[in-house]
Amino acid sequence: MYNLHCHSLLSDGELLPSEIARRFEAKGYKVIAITDHVDMANIKRVVSEIVEFCRVWPKNRIKIFPGIELTHIPPEQFKPLVKYARANGIKVIVGHGETVVEPVVKGTNKKAIESGIDILAHPGLISADDVKLAKRRGVFLELTSRHGHCQTNEYLVRQAKKFGAKLIINTDSHSPQDIITPPELRQIGLDAGLNTKEIDEIYKEEAKFLKKL
């Protein structure tokens, strides 16, 4: 089981990366990405710190990929920040999408997808054109267990099915209580309108992505 969106105290999470790793490991996860919030102000620090953490993490434990979430940035900054992150060791790049519970700048979904991110987090009432763009670019659209952001999960499933875009299911965890079990995470997909076979296909696609990292 995988979870490719969570936050540590390197940004607004409550836990050290080591404790995040152990808590997910104890729940039965095999792979996670720690994807702390970044913008122009803190990207150098966070990238350096999470890449170093992953470098020294024991190889025989839960697998951890270094990631970031580009959050509330001016849309035109996505491309240069994605380029910087890739060049400096980041493996999983999440774009903070146009969730309905935060004042994200209109057009962020499109610019994030175009920039070369891997996952568009909680994309809200994403347009048909942006769903089609995500399909063409191979960007995962995120179903989330995160309070508030999860309000549009069912809408996203309908759009993704209609246009054939890839989905991913993540916790977007910030605190210990956000770290749910793998069966609970699968239930998020079921509650959003997916069936068991469709969820299995989501994890197969995710496994293919991870093999390339």
pLDDT single digits (tens) 99-138: 999 999 999 999 999 999 999 999 999 999 999 999 999 9
Three-class SS state of 116: coil
**Distances from the Cα of 5 to the Cα of 40, 54, 68, 76, 127, angstroms:** 20, 15, 9, 23, 23
Q: Which helix H or strand E contains 199, and what residues bound it?
A: helix 196-211
Q: What is the pLDDT of residues 133-152, one digit of tens each?
A: 999 999 999 999 999 999 99
Q: Which helix H or strand E contains 50, and what residues bound it?
A: helix 43-56
For the record, the structure tokens of 41 come out as 């102000």
Structural domains in the chain, sorted by start: 2-211 (3.20.20.140)
Per-residue model confidence (pLDDT) at position 191: 98
